[in-house]
Amino acid sequence: KQEVTQIPAALSVPEGENLVLNCSFTDSAIYNLQWFRQDPGKGLTSLLLIQSSQREQTSGRLNASLDKSSGRSTLYIAASQPGDSATYLCAGGGPTGTASKLTFGTGTRLQVTL
């Protein structure tokens, strides 16, 4: 059974700093690895999806990488801003019938301070 771990559970950085969030998974037979952002009391917003055949994806100041052999993914945020403060979750997608069934980590709560 897939298990997804995110360490640390919380992180505080000053504005402008570049940072890396970590995600590890136990089963390398994943279809994709997705990163989400969740603001307090809200649903999740999809940030990036990396297919199992890819090594990274980029969107603006965000870059996500995937290393299946080591069971790790990272989310790199460049030049962090206070508006980046949120909880970031990663999820590994595995095959179940015709739908992709995601296993989620418990998230890293990021605070970017002025």
Partner 1 sequence: DVKVTQSSRYLVKRTGEKVFLECVQDMDHENMFWYRQDPGLGLRLIYFSYDVKMKEKGDIPEGYSVSREKKERFSLILESASTNQTSMYLCASSGWDSYNSPLHFGNGTRLTVT
Among 8, 16, 82, 95, binds partner 1 (CB under 8 A): 95
Count of residues touching partner 1 (by CB under 8 A): 28
Applying CB under 8 A, does 99 fall inside the site for partner 1? Answer: yes
What is the SS3 assignment for 13-73?
EECCCCEEEEEEECCCCCCEEEEEEECCCCCEEEEEEEECCCCEEEECCEEEEEECCCCEE
Two tokens, residue 4: 């997804």
Applying CB under 8 A, does 65 fall inside the site for partner 1? Answer: no
In angstroms, give the least distance from the CB of 37 to partner 1: 11
Two tokens, residue 77: 């945020």
Q: Using CB under 8 A as the criterion, which residues of the chain lie in contact with partner 1 when the complex forms? A: 31-32, 34, 36, 41-46, 49, 51-52, 89, 91, 93, 95-102, 104-107
